[in-house]
């Protein structure tokens, strides 16, 4: 039985990690930290987990306390805010732990991108170089040998899953790629703030960060790797009236006359033997729907070819807290520990309605 720690376990993502791992057959959570709930049982922050854990939250104030607080574990999940995880990662690696970092602090490979998108100069370029970007459908072999995996952003994940298969096949005009993402309020985290708080999002739909959202840097980085050229994407997220879910709708012009079957083959080739990606075509629902993936690590992908104007629409639907955060973090953990990729995840069937 492998032992793991969750640092920053009282938020939505921490709660989802605890929920998944409560029934994982080969992994147990031995430590969960929270400064706010230190000394209290896990169910004080996550009432739905009452009866599943006897754990109490431990307090962890700084990276130098990491070894003392987490003890003898095999892997640590860092579910901490951006710029906080930054300094915990080196300490975790120093004491020999495998790390899945759910912040953005090690996702981008170009140092200058951190200045552009996060407003700071990255202090650990050597560690950044070794970090593996954590989308298993793209990088499973690298993840298997990694000591540090940088978990992707939720909106980046849905956008990447929608676009990379056709971009890699050269089917779309990379100079004219537009991505529109609709995302639920849980993306904003457990601490309410104006605009992110669910009552401010219920009953409405509105764009945010329309002049440039940070997750586009991840999408452009992956597209650059799979196409061999720089790509700039017009990317706009929308806050919509739902709690969970990230639906990416991407649009571009086709580079040649292709049939729907050609496009479907591109997706099928790319996602062959990928256990958590479902290609959606035909009746009863011809396009991806976030309601079909709630509470699971599954992703639905799909497309539409508009032959009249030579355009393609590409779609991906995920649960932002699962395939966009905790679910894929556990998938990455499985690969890092040499376990089956779908262990503890395959039977988390989506919840509907």
Binding-site positions for NADP(+) read 10-13, 320
- Cβ burial of 104 (10 Å; 0-12, 13-18, 19+) is buried
Catalytic residue among 154, 179, 242, 263: 154
Question: Residue 174, preceding bond cis, omega within 30 degrees?
Answer: no
Task: Give the Å distances, CA to CA, from 287 to 85, 253, 284, 314.
Answer: 37, 19, 9, 9
Annotated binding residues, written as ranges, equal 10-13, 320
Listed residue (233, 183, 235, 234) closest to 206, CA to CA:
183
Contact 339, 4 (CB under 8 A): no
CA 154, CA 156: separation in Å to the nearest integer?
Answer: 5
* Per-residue DSSP letter, 153: P
Contacts with 329 (C-beta within 8 Å, 6 or more apart), sequence order: 13, 17, 77, 100, 102, 134, 151
Measured CA to CA, the distance from residue 8 to residue 308 in angstroms comes to 51
Contact 196, 189 (CB under 8 A): yes
Say whether 329 is catalytic: no
What gap in Å lies between CA 313 and CA 169, rounded to an integer? Answer: 15
d(CA 31, CA 2) in angstroms, rounded, equals 12
Residues forming the active site: 154
């Amino acid at each position: 039985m492998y032992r793991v720690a969750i640092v920053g376990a009282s938020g939505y993502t921490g709660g989802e990690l605890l929920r998944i791992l409560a029934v994982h057959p080969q992994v147990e959570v031995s430590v969960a930290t929270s400064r706010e709930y230190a000394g209290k049982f896990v169910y004080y922050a996550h009432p739905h987990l009452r009866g599943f854990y006897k754990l109490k939250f431990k307090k962890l104030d700084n990276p130098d306390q990491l070894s003392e607080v987490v003890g003898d574990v095999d892997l640590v999940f860092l579910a901490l805010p951006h710029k906080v995880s930054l300094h915990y990662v080196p300490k975790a690696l120093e004491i020999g732990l495998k790390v899945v970092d759910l912040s953005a602090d090690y996702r981008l490979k170009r140092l200058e991108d951190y200045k552009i998108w996060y407003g700071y100069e990255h202090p650990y370029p050597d560690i950044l170089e070794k970090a593996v970007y954590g989308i298993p459908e793209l990088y499973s072999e690298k993840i298997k040998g990694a000591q540090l995996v940088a978990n992707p952003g939720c909106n980046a994940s849905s956008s990447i899953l929608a676009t990379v298969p056709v971009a890699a096949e050269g089917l779309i005009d990379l100079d004219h790629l537009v991505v529109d993402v609709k995302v639920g309020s849980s993306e904003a985290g457990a601490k309410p703030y104006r605009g992110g708080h669910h009552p401010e999002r219920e009953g409405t739909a509105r764009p945010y960060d329309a002049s440039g959202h940070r997750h586009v840097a991840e999408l452009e980085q992956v597209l650059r790797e799979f196409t061999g050229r720089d790509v700039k994407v017009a990317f706009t997220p929308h806050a919509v009236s739902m709690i969970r879910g990230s639906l990416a709708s991407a649009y571009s012009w086709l580079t040649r006359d292709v049939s729907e079957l050609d496009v479907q083959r591109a997706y099928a080739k790319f996602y062959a033997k990928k256990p958590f990606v479902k290609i959606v075509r035909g009746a009863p629902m011809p396009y991806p729907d976030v309601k079909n993936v709630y509470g699971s690590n599954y992703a639905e992908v799909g497309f539409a070819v508009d032959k009249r104007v030579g355009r393609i629409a590409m779609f991906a639907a995920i649960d932002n807290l699962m395939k966009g955060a905790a679910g894929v973090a556990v998938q990455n953990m499985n690969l890092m520990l040499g376990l089956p990729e779908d262990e503890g995840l395959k039977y988390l069937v989506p919840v509907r309605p």
